[in-house]
Structures are given as structure tokens and as C-alpha cells.
Structure 1
């Protein structure tokens, strides 16, 4: 299957490349001081004839797709603007062709762009030049290649000024994985050009060790999945480490086989990330062949892995990725050590629940094509098979708390009532009348979705839960010194530490204190719902099921008595009013 997707992606990539070349025709500003595009193309054809395998290898790299997408967007602008001239972006084609010709042994001379003091020859390496240098000449003859700018000359392979391509190869049980680590390439990130980020030897060694250990986990426990990853994964752009249990990773539709990944906490986290991003690779490639969704930009949906409302295509991408994640934890929990098993159980229970919720939403949303319906039906069948598997009681309860927390935080931040509904709710509270509850979604005058910029730390309590189940000693240290919890886990508070640590009464007092200081604190309201002594009572029902109603009144009227306000809303809620996310979604305001 991966081989078929690669063949399709090759066609896609060559089409993008030809489109860039055609878009440059007759535009002097497209190449500026560099060689005209037809001369560069002629050298590419010559190199291809000399060594087609090298040409295919270079052009298949994920960064080539990122470059093509970014450059086409600039070429389509009537007056391309940006921090760099247009020719600096178009000139990456010159860098690609120079790299291919060097590897193919074809003699040539060709200028390439220098950005951030670096001239890149993809898959070969990079040369460093003084600040302010904008282009360098690459000269190759008699099996040797040199880059020159001003009075600086850097031979390919030199000790000083030259940085060879970084490749990591690991092999476990005759299943090899070969990955290029990108640090200096201009198109190492997913959203266009970026500055070089040097990876030193210690970091390379660390990544080699992590990849080896992660690969050992995958090959031993899930060999079929490992072989799929080995066939598709080609490039990793390392990023600095994030907070523990908050690793960042990303991939893109134009970059099949490439990932941007922050330094993981451990090998198991990296193994799960490889599964996650490879799922995205496969679905991105499939959507280049088949239309699966009928997108409507005016409607957004709840995605338990995101803090923002998502369009249907994004919802499907996440569902496929997290179906893979649920499958990974399902198997890994059987192999994990007694110390690591609790967290593996939590992750499995969490992601089977969340993925199943989203798949039900997709199945009923009415925005899937026939291909999309078949695809989702297959996923539903797979994930429903996970639901009957047993999970220890404590770990399942922890997963359910994480899910309830995120749902309530998401509704609080992303849903807004219409002005007439909000005004009526506020007036009823002031006058001591029963509230009129608007529908959760769909129906007459439901809430509308907004998209708030920036990270709001929905997951502080989830991170603490992962500490408790996966890093017990560190969690105990935090409990012993709660004043530092916010420094170690951004967005978390002492009340969160009490809640996750098993003291909901102390947590509730902490959240009430937070609301006394800020009656509109979403974190405080949802935390109060999680900590309430009656989990099925009206207070918890309101704060975990329809917190946007409580927040609406609190924003307009204040909240002198938070428990009374939440109970007032909660007593009026029916089961239909607090159901999980459904297929109707929310209109974007």
C-alpha cells in the first residue's frame, strides 16, 4: 500500500515541480541574479539521464513538497511580498538541481541562494558563509564540488564551513529505518522557509539513541506497523524539547514522509508519535487521490485533540491519526513494564473513547462523500472492537476525567450564545426565574463557534494525570512542593494538584478561591465541576455538560455564589441538553 502511495505522490510532486517551472516562464524577477529557469531545467534533465535514481531520491524528499507549495503561492501573487526576494524561493530549485548533479557526477557551474548564512544542497549538506551573503556558486568537476561566495571557498566535505547531511539508520530484527535529520535546510518546517537550526553531535547522538529505542518498541510489538513506517518515513526536522507530556509534532499534505518533532520524553512517546504522523502521511496521500469530505467552512466540530473548532476534513485527519494512537496503546499496554503500564492503560482508554466519539460525529455529519463514508465505516468497525476490552478501574476513571475536562474547557472557550439567548439567561438569573436552556447544537438558536488564537492550556490537569500514572516520583515531588506546579506544568494550579492527587475537597476550595478573584475563569469553573462532591448532581452537570451557559451569566452578572449559579443551570438541564458532541456541529461566528 505504501508503495502505491509513493507512486501517486511522485506524480503529485512532479506536477507541482512542473507548475513552478511554468509559472516562472517570462518572469525575470523569478530567478533574479540566478540562472534562467530553462538552463536549470536542462541541467536537471542531464543529471536525470546520468543517474535517475539520485534524481528520484532528491525530488521525493518531503522538503521539496513544502518548497513547491510555498513558492507556488508566492508566484500566484500579483506582487509577491516577503522578507526575501522571490528569486530566493524559486532558487531552491537551483539548489535541488545542484545537489542532484553533484551526486550524479555531472560537471557544472550554477549559482544557488544563501539564506541565513547557509547555502543548502539537499541530501548532500550545507556550506556556511558570512552574514549578508545572498548567493554562492557551486562548481563540480572531476568528482569534486566546491561552493564559493566572495573570498570564501567551501569544498564539499571540508572540515571547516561544510556540514554534511545527517542520516540516522537503525535496524531491529531485519527491519531497517533510515531517516534524514534536517537542521539547516530552508524548508525543514511545514509552513514555508525557516532559519537554520544547528544540531550538534550530542543532539544527533540523542536522536539516534531515541530512534533506535523507539524502533525496537515498534518492531517487537507491532511489526506490521513498523514496516509501514519504515517505507514512508524519510525526514525528521528536530525541534527543542517541550514540557514533559506536551511533545509537539506535525506533518503536512505536501510533505509525504516528513515530520517536525520536538525532542520526546522517552522512546515510547517517540514510537507513538511515529505512528501518529505516519497515519497523517497515509491519509494526506489518499486525499490526493480521492475526495473524502465535502467541506463547509462555515461549520466546525469538536476534536478532543485540539483546542479549536475543526472543519470536517481536519476532523477526519485527527480521527485517522488517533485511531492509530489508540491501536498503538492497545498493544503496548500488554508489553509495558509494571511501572509504565498504568499510563499506557490511561492512554488507550482515553483515545478509544475520544476517537469513537469523533467517528460517530463524522458518520452522521452528512459531509462525507461515498468514499469518505466507506473510509469512516471501516474506522468505526476497528475502533468499536476496542470498546469491549477491559481497562483497570482507576486508569479508566482517569481517562474519563481527562475527556470530561477537555470537553468542558472546549465548550467554555469556543462556544458563544446569541445575544438574545444570553440576555434572556442573564435576566432570568437576576429575577430568580427558571432558565430557558438553548440547544447544545443544531435546533433553534444554538451556540456558535468562535476561533480564539493562541494556546490556552486546556490540558494542565491531563498533564498532571500523566505525571501521576507515568512518573509517580515526580508527581510526589510536586505534591510535596505545590508552589512550583505552575512553573513545571504551564496552566496548572495547586487546586489541580489536589484534584489529581485525590483530594477533591481541597481542590474545590482552591477553585472557589480562583473564582472569587476572577468570576470568568474557565479553568476555575471546570475544575469546580470536576471536584464537586456530587459527580452526577446539578453543579457538576452544568459545569461539565454546558459550562458556556454558566460562563455567559458570570461574564454578564458576576458570580457571587458560583455553586448557586451552577446549580441553577444544572437543575434545568435534561439529558438531551448535555449530550456529547453530535454531528450537527456549530456555525462559525
Structure 2
């Protein structure tokens, strides 16, 4: 595995553009490079933990085998491998493994590494011939799909033309995966492509720990139809924002609302994945996509630049949540709501909009502007921001001002984003 690059420097103008929620392509390149560097650090931390843990002999042998396979799978095309290694589900898996309890917990958490190696080989065309362990009889290939092998081991044979997965002692359940990720064979289920993007609908339960769970499957057709409608709304109102969604979101993971009422969230370990309950309207879905994508961008940025030095005490009140929030939650929420204020400002001013639609969009813009304006003093009047954090927050304030203001409106949002969570 390639060494992690050195420390990243974020130019002031890049910080300002990201703060305004509408960064340039080169700014995203920096964020992607930073995410990859962080991912390599986590892989090395995992390797170090395995080295010092008293694992069962068979678990250690399986890890050593899968680690070597991953290195071999990466070597023919490191750039292609990088896209798999940076997948949100892989980040979630590494953190779960690092947090696993004791040798037994770590041994169980390490099993999906073989599927990561298989997914990497699929992207690089590496030639592999090895036997992998399954988890509960299933082999997860992140970002691609799940093989219900119904056996403890699967033989993988891969090359430039694709990957053959053959359950040991069950050759009739072999699966052939093409380099484009499409698969065919008994027991294989692909992740559905989110139309018009490189992302996938992860409705198979693999979105975090890479362990396919047995649970009722969501209505895939309904999710894809709602995605199409949401992206169409964004394209008609804000083509730039629609292109950002299509480019950056790697997966949409269906979830059930949490105990605190949140219906969507972003996992800090898995940026570019949107975890959400089924949105009741296309507009609601569009808002969730923009909201959670903002969380991902800020989560990646915060791994590069220290924006504050506050602890995790939940002591701050904000307009979009009933419960007190930690300082980082205020910063994250302010940024996400600024992205929504920006979206509705552009919807309100789009050419050809009907007067009623324009009034409604301005009302939504004003609600989000008010929420951001209410939270900015919490940030700026504190002594918790770093120099970079001050520049970032002042830039948010300047962008909020640039969005304009309107008169008090009788219109209110019926589905306020108070149901959405911060980064976890």
C-alpha cells in the first residue's frame, strides 16, 4: 500500500470558496487527496492494532493473506484502486475494526477485508487466485454488490476481463463480475446505480460495516424514482448543485429514523455517503442530498485544517434542533443550512419561475438564512475558533449576506431540517 502523502496546506482562497459551499474543481481535488491520505493513515493504524493484538492463529493468517491480496490488487493501477479504498463503506469498516472489542471482536471485524481486496482487483484488473472467508455465508464487494455464497469460503480468480467468485464446494453458485461491476450468477445482487452519477443505492445493508444484514429490503424502484426526481429538481433550479451531487455522492444508504428523530445523517468515517430515511417528496430528497453533502465536505476539510479546539460538550442552542449541540455540531449545522439557503436563493431567482414558486422559494431561503444568522454569533463570539476557523466562519457570514434578504414571509417549511442529524 502506498505511503500517505505529507501534510496538506489549504490556501486561504480555497477555504473561502468551500465556506461559501460552492468550491471549484481544484478545491475538490484537494479534499479527495486529503481523504485518501486519511484513509491510508487509518489502514496503517489497523495494521498496527492487528500487530499488537493477541489474535487467534487462523484469524491472523486470514488477515495476513487478505492484506497481501489487497497489496497485489492495488499494484497494477493505484489510481483505480484508490477509488475503492476511499469508498465510504471502506472507511466505516476500518473505524468499526479499530473500535472492535478485544481479540475476538477484532477477528470478526477483519473478515470483510477479503471482499475489499476482491473489489480492488475488479477495478485494477489484477490477477489473483485465492480463497476468501465470508461473513455469515455472504461476501460483500464494497460499492458493487453481495454474493450469497451459502458457504464459509469463496475462491476468487481475477484478471483484466473480470472476477470469478466460486463458493467452495458450491460451484453452481459461481458469480462472474465484469470490470464495470455488473455481475451474474446464483446468489448475486448488485447495488443499483444512482442514475446520472457514479454513486450506488446501498440497500443491501453494506453501507457501514460491510456485513450484509438480513432485513426487509427497501423498495428499490421507489428509491431510484425519488432520486431521479430530486436530481431533476436540482438540475432545473441549480445545475451547478446538481452536478456536485452527481459527482460527489458515492452511496445513498436507506435508514430508519433514529431515537432522537433524525431522518438523515453523515458518518464522519464515511464521507460522500448519505444515510437517510425514505424522503416523502422529491424536494425533501433534494434538500437532504445538499444538506448531507455539505456535512461530508466539512468533515473532510476538518481532517485537514483544525477549525476549532472545542471539546464535545453539548451546551449550545440552535434553531434547527431542540437538544443542545456541541460546538462542532453548531459549526456543521450552520454550514449545512447555509448550503440550503444558497440553494433556495438560486431557486428563487431562476429565470421563468412562476410568481408563487418564487415567493415560496424566497420564504425557504429566509428560513434557512435566519437559522444560519442565529448560529453565527455562537461561533464568532466564542474563543474556540482557530485562525482558520475564524476565516472559514467569517466567509460563511459574508456568503450569507450575499444571498440577499427578503421581507418576513408567512410561508413556513412543513418539513424543517430539524429532523436531520449532524456528522456522527
TM-score bracket for the superposition, by shorter chain length: 0.7 to 0.9
Mapping 1:34-433, distance limit 5 Å: 35-74=61-100, 77=101, 79=102, 85-103=105-123, 104-115=125-136, 117-130=137-150, 135-140=152-157, 143-148=162-167, 151=170, 153-156=172-175, 157-170=183-196, 177-186=197-206, 188-189=207-208, 195-197=213-215, 199=217, 203-239=219-255, 248-298=263-313, 300-334=315-349, 343-386=360-403, 388-390=405-407, 393-395=409-411, 398=412
Residue 49 of structure 1 and its aligned partner are, at CA, apart by 2.1
Cα distance in 2 for partners of 1:152, 1:35 equals 25
Residue 385 of structure 1 and its aligned partner are, at CA, apart by 3.5
Residue 34 of structure 1 and its aligned partner are, at CA, apart by 7.0
SS at match of 1:291: coil
Mapping 1:393-542, distance limit 5 Å: 393-395=409-411, 398=412
Residue 298 of structure 1 and its aligned partner are, at CA, apart by 4.3
* Alpha carbons 1:2, 1:232 under 8 Å: kept: no
**CA spacing shift, 1:3–1:366, aligned 2, 3 Å:** same
Cα distance in 1 for partners of 2:384, 2:158 equals 57
Cα distance in 2 for partners of 1:11, 1:225 equals 26
Residue 341 of structure 1 and its aligned partner are, at CA, apart by 5.4
**CA spacing shift, 1:216–1:152, aligned 2, 3 Å:** same
Cα shift readout 1:242-293 (whole Å, capped 9, x = no counterpart): 9xxx882111221121111222122222111111111111111110011111
* Alpha carbons 1:183, 1:196 under 8 Å: kept: no
* Alpha carbons 2:166, 2:173 under 8 Å: kept: yes
SS at match of 1:100: helix
SS at match of 2:308: coil
**CA spacing shift, 1:362–1:344, aligned 2, 3 Å:** same
Aligned length: 378
Aligned Cα root-mean-square deviation (Å): 3.1
Rg comparison, structure with higher value: 1
Residue 24 of structure 1 and its aligned partner are, at CA, apart by 0.9
TM-score, with structure 2 as normaliser: 0.79
Cα distance in 1 for partners of 2:228, 2:272 equals 18
* Alpha carbons 1:126, 1:162 under 8 Å: kept: yes
Q: Mind listing any 5+ residue stretches in structure 1 that lack a counterpart?
A: 171-176, 400-461, 467-489, 491-589
Cα distance in 2 for partners of 1:23, 1:31 equals 15
SS at match of 1:108: strand
Residue 43 of structure 1 and its aligned partner are, at CA, apart by 1.8
Residue 322 of structure 1 and its aligned partner are, at CA, apart by 0.5
Residue 356 of structure 1 and its aligned partner are, at CA, apart by 0.4
Cα shift readout 1:17-51 (whole Å, capped 9, x = no counterpart): 12112211254527744744333222222222223
* Alpha carbons 1:61, 1:234 under 8 Å: kept: yes
Residue 359 of structure 1 and its aligned partner are, at CA, apart by 0.6
Answer yes or no: is 1:23 the counterpart of 2:49: yes
* Alpha carbons 2:128, 2:157 under 8 Å: kept: yes
Cα distance in 2 for partners of 1:352, 1:394 equals 15
Task: Give the corresponding residue for 2:15.
Answer: none
Cα distance in 2 for partners of 1:141, 1:360 equals 56
TM-score, with structure 1 as normaliser: 0.58
Q: Which moved more, 1:56-65 or 1:345-354?
A: 345-354
Residue 150 of structure 1 and its aligned partner are, at CA, apart by 5.7
Cα distance in 1 for partners of 2:33, 2:381 equals 33
Residue 9 of structure 1 and its aligned partner are, at CA, apart by 0.5
* Alpha carbons 2:138, 2:212 under 8 Å: kept: no
Higher fraction of helix? 1
**CA spacing shift, 1:102–1:285, aligned 2, 3 Å:** closer
* Alpha carbons 1:238, 1:261 under 8 Å: kept: yes
